[in-house]
Amino acid sequence: MSFNVALLAPERIGGVICLSGAVFTHLQSVIDSDKDGRFADKKENLPIFIYHGKEDQVILHSYAAETYKKLVASGFQRVSEHAEEFLPHSVSPAEVKKISEFLQQHMI
C-alpha cells in the first residue's frame, strides 16, 4: 500500500519503503499510460526501497520482484529491491539494517 500512497501523493515526498507489497494493478496501468507526465518527477527523483522475504507465504516474493521490474521498465530511476532468503512474512535484523541505511541515505 505504501507504493500506492507515495505514487499518488500530489506533493513531492522523500521516499517510500515497501515491505512485502506491490503496486496495485490499476495504478501500474495508470503509470504505464502516463501521457501527461504526471509521474515524471517521481520517476526521476523518488527513492523507492523494496524488501521482501523469499519464503513469504502471505504476499509472495514474486509480487515484489515483478513490481520492481515494472517500475524500472516504467522509468523509475531510484528503485532498489532486496530479497532475503528464508524470510517468511516478518521482519528480520538484516531488513531493519537495510531500512536504516536507506533512511540515512535518503531522508536524513
Please write the tens of the pLDDT for every residue from 70-92: 999 999 999 999 999 999 999 99
Span between the terminal Cα atoms of the chain, in Å: 23
The burial of 73, by beta-carbon neighbours within 10 Å (0-12 exposed, 13-18 middle, 19 or more buried), is given as exposed
Please write the tens of the pLDDT for every residue from 38-57: 899 999 999 999 999 999 99
How many angstroms from the chain centroid is the CA of residue 74? 13
- Domain layout of the chain by residue ranges: 2-106
Q: If you search the block for the grid coordinates 521482519, which residue do you land on?
A: 91
pLDDT at 3: 80
If you classify domain 2-106 with CATH, what class do you get? Answer: alpha beta
- Edge-to-edge strand list for the sheet holding 16-19: 16-19, 48-53, 79-84
pTM for the whole thing? Answer: 0.91
**61 — pLDDT class (breaks 50, 70, 90):** very high
Average pLDDT over residues 13-41: 88
Average pLDDT over residues 53-71: 93
Amino acid identity, position 79: V
